[in-house]
Each structure stands twice: as structure tokens, then as C-alpha cells.
Amino acid sequence: MTGRENHMVYMEGMEAIASDMMEKVTALVETYDYQQYTVEDVKRALQKERLSIDDYRAILSPAATECLEEMATKATAETRKHFGNSIQMFTPLYIANYCENHCVYCGFNCHNRINRAKLSLEEIEEELKTIAATGLQEILLLTGESRHQSGVEYIGEAVKCAAKYFSTVGIEIYPLNSDEYTYLHECGTDFVCVYQETYNPDKYEQVHLRGPKRIYPYRFHAQERALLGGMRGVAFGALLGLGDFRKDAFAVGLHAYFIQQKYPHAEISFSTPRLRPYINNAKNNANDVHERQLLQVMLAYRLFMPFAGITISTRERAGFRDHVIGMTATKISSGVSVGVGGHKEEEKGDEQFEIADPRSVEQVHQMILGRGLQPVYTDYVRV
């Protein structure tokens, strides 16, 4: 059957870099048995000033769900220590939703009959101006994963335009080769988000049926290629609930940990997308990621890597977002439209997912102040 390539073999044109990162992470994840950890293990881990990899295993275990309050207390102190009162503000802008991958869980996947669109450069500029008028200084540009419809040069032009209006430009697009990252860096972006979705290669193969995204190692090494290409910061994440979320969260942390060790200057951040459990699901599935489990993962990221940024998206409800900023999250989006465009004009293409927090920039700004925290619009100077 065409399209069902070996998911561990690079396709033509995909750059292979010399790195043992994937082997290191995979070996540790395979042997992670979270059932063996007890509440005592968790409490012992929480008493430490710096958590080891084994402590990280403990605080991601089911036993640790009984210690969420203690974890939250320690995480709040760590967040304050490293970030003070600061909460960074940003918004995403979807410029295209064409996709050539078949990922069984995704609203953008190439078999879904949704309205596809791609903004022209003029439309992008109008959207950017409208967003900039809200006061935001940081933008994340997103596309679906289609090299053909939204090529690197198109994204580069969008980045150049965004850099005129924003001090910080990030991209969340398909993985690139390092020279392409260099090109986009030169266009004006310094931060790259790539989410591995799941760090279990077998599961990864089952849910990525077709398209370049099917190639597990190429995606895995994206952050490293981005850094080699001159990017300053990289974001990590798994789509929690797609595979075994505890193992995936463990892998995300390790991936970031080893990258920072190899590239000490890299600014590290995490995102925590999740598949929501079915509400009417009578059976309580151990792999469901309810808010409690999501919070556990977010707290574990903070405790394991206290200096890393953590972003909370509008996929979560306002009441959740408001409480996790300052405790574990350090960055929050607002004024979000997840369709293509939608800030200046009507959306031109359909959404990838639904948002649960539609508040404006001003509303989120006021909420942050109300919680005794400081909204930060710019925290980066490009030189």
C-alpha cells in the first residue's frame, strides 16, 4: 500500500544529523515502570532541591496524584524563584491549514473535508496589524503541515512581515532541515515548537498513517536541527492521552533535558496539549488525561526543569488557566482564533480544535493583574 513507509526510515530530502538523543530517550522510556513508585518515593523526591531523573519518574507516577497539593506548593515556589511575577503574553496566528499527513486524531488531517485556506501575504499583514493593535508583542505563526501548499519561502515571508510588528516571532510548522531553519531564523524567527505527539514509536506508527509526519526520527530531531540552524529556543510537547501519557510526559522532559545539556544556551519550553477524555465514557480509563492528570504533568515539568517556560493554551478552560499561571505556567495566550485568519476578517479556513477560553487580550491582562502577577508583553530583544 502506498504511503505506508517504514516510519523509522527517512524519506528523500530529510536531513539526518549525528545524534544519540533518540536512543537515549527511548531507552529510558522503555524501562519506565511508573507502577513501582510509592507515595513515599514521591515525598522523598519533593524534599530535594534538585530532582533527578528517577525523582522525575516518581512524580509522574500514579502514586504522585495523591501528592498534587505538595507538588503544587513546591512548583509555585520554583516558578516564583525563576520567573518572579512575570507571565508572558502571546497569541497564535494560523496562516494556512493545508496538510498532507493522515493523523487519525487530528481535525486538519488530509482526509477530513474541512475548509482549507491559506492567507495571502496581504491578508497576513492585515491580521498581524490587528493583533499588534491589542498590544501583544509576541506572535506564534502556525501552518498545517504541507510543504507544497505552505512552503518554507511562504512561511519566511510571513515571518519577515511578523518581525515588523512583533518583538518575538515563533513558528509552529512542519519539521525542517537545519538549513531551512537557518533561513527562517534569518527572516526573523528565533523560537520553534514541534510536538512529537507520542514518544512510543509503535503507537506513533499506528496514528500517523501517511505523509512526511509518519517518519518518527525526523520529527524527533527537529529541535536539534532548529538549534543547529541558529534558533534560540525550542518547545517540546506530547499530545497527552494519545499514547501512555505518563511515559510520554516522561519522554518530553527527558528530551528537553538532554537537549539543554547538549545545547546549554537553548531556551527550553513545554506545551501540554491533551486529548480530552470522552465525557460519557463510563469506564475510567487509566490513560485518560483529566485536569488532575494534566496538572500533574505540568507540575512535574516545572519541578524537573524549574527554569523552563510552560505555555497554557486556550484549549483549557479559563478557570484552569487562571490557576496554573504562576504555579507552573509562565506563558498564556489570549485573543485567540484557531481558524485560519479570523482576527481582522472572518475566518477563511476551519479550526483544528475548539478553544475553551475565548477571552480577549485585555481580559486576560486584567485577570493576570488580579492574581497579583505581571503581564509581560516583551521579553526578548533580537540582536
Residues 272-331 touching another protein, rule: CB under 8 A, are: 305, 307
Nearer of residues 85 and 149 to another protein, judged by Cβ: 85
Beta strands 86-96 and 233-236 are unpaired
The nearest distance, CB 167 to another protein, in angstroms, is 8
Residues 169-228 touching another protein, rule: CB under 8 A, are: none
Nearer of residues 12 and 49 to another protein, judged by Cβ: 49
Residues 346-365 touching another protein, rule: CB under 8 A, are: 365
Nearer of residues 212 and 306 to another protein, judged by Cβ: 306
| Candidate segments 145-153, 173-181, 214-222, 374-382, binder of another protein by CB under 8 A | 374-382
Among 32, 56, 83, 181, binds another protein (CB under 8 A): 83
| Candidate segments 65-73, 149-157, 262-270, 293-301, binder of another protein by CB under 8 A | 262-270
73 near another protein, judged by CB under 8 A: no
Nearer of residues 65 and 86 to another protein, judged by Cβ: 86
The nearest distance, CB 187 to another protein, in angstroms, is 19
Among 60, 131, 173, 266, binds another protein (CB under 8 A): 266
372 near another protein, judged by CB under 8 A: yes
How far is it, in rounded angstroms, from Cα 85 to Cα 91? 20
Among 12, 35, 122, 264, binds another protein (CB under 8 A): 264
| Candidate segments 152-160, 169-177, 331-339, 369-377, binder of another protein by CB under 8 A | 369-377
H, E, C per residue of the chain: CCCCCCCCCCCCCCCCCCCCHHHHHHHHHHCCCHHHCCHHHHHHHHCCCCCCHHHHHHHCCHHHHHHHHHHHHHHHHHHHHHHCCEEEEEEEEEEECCCCCEECCCCCCCCCCCCCCECCHHHHHHHHHHHHCCCCCEEEEEECCCCCCCCHHHHHHHHHHHHHHCCEEEEECCCCCHHHHHHHHHHCCCEEECCCECCCHHHHHHHEEECHHHCHHHHHCHHHHHHHCCCCEEEECECECCCCHHHHHHHHHHHHHHHHHHCCCCEEEEECCECCCCCCCCCCCCCCCCHHHHHHHHHHHHHHCCCCEEEECCCCCHHHHHHHECCCECEEECCCCCCECCCCCCCCECCCCCCCCCCCHHHHHHHHHHCCCEEECCCCCCC
Nearer of residues 37 and 83 to another protein, judged by Cβ: 83
The nearest distance, CB 160 to another protein, in angstroms, is 20
82 near another protein, judged by CB under 8 A: yes
38 near another protein, judged by CB under 8 A: no
Nearer of residues 305 and 340 to another protein, judged by Cβ: 305
- Give the interface with another protein as residue ranges (CB under 8 A): 80-86, 135, 137, 167, 232, 260, 264-268, 305, 307, 365, 369, 372-381, 383
